[in-house]
């Protein structure tokens, strides 16, 4: 009987933290390039497959990754239905450089700033560049770092999830 109580308590605690983590993801506050700060869920309401790429204005490797993704983005959108969110992890004055960096590089996807690090915390992200594929509110794939060509592998994963029946 004592063993059953421990299992029940463990299950309750696990359920609580799982539910809390999901709430944190949907309520993480983001600032779009244009517009007001709003919860993550308000930017993703209609999307079932989301690619989140964390980046920084001071990280050449993360900018290289987003430039490589941008080069393929139009074709990717035709091949698979997904939303791409490039989320800057910069704070303070550096966060103000996210928009000019995106414009200078000609990025055609949505750019956000993770204002308080909420989204990064919700996804337990501690590296950048780091990418997450989220399907119906759950992380189904993640990738850290970038080397030339890994953007193709990332899209291959997106296509797998987008085209599964």
The answer as to whether 7 is a domain residue is no
d(CA 98, CA 90): 8
Query: Is residue 105 domain-resident?
Result: yes
Specify if 59 maps to a domain: yes
Please give the model's pTM, rounded to 2 decimal places.
Answer: 0.82
What are the tens digits of pLDDT across the range 130-142? 999 999 889 999 9
pLDDT at 70: 97
Checking if the pLDDT of 20 tops 70, the result is no
**What value, to the nearest 5°, has the Cα angle with vertex 133 and ends 131 and 135?**
160
Residue 124 falls inside a structural domain: yes
Is 116 part of a structural domain of the chain?
Answer: yes
For residue 8, is it within any domain? no
If you count them, how many residues does the chain have?
165
Q: Tell me the residue range of the domain where 45 lies.
A: 28-163
> Could you give the number of structural domains in the chain?
1
CATH (domain of 131): 3.40.30.10
């Amino acid at each position: 009987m004592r063993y059953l109580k421990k299992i029940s308590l463990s299950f309750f605690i696990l359920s609580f933290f799982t539910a809390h983590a999901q709430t944190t993801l949907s309520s993480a506050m983001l600032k779009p390039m244009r517009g007001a700060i709003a919860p993550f869920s308000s930017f993703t309401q209609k999307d079932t497959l989301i690619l989140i790429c964390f980046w920084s204005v001071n990280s050449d490797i993360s900018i290289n990754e987003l430039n490589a993704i941008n080069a393929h983005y139009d074709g990717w959108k035709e091949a698979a239905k997904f939303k791409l969110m490039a989320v800057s992890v910069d704070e303070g004055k550096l966060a103000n450089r996210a928009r000019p960096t995106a414009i200078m590089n000609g990025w055609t996807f949505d750019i956000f700033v993770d204002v308080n690090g909420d989204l990064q915390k919700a996804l337990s992200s501690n590296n950048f560049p780091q990418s997450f594929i989220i399907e119906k509110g759950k992380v189904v794939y993640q990738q850290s770092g970038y080397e030339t060509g890994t953007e193709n592998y990332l899209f291959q994963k997106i296509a797998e999830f987008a085209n599964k029946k």
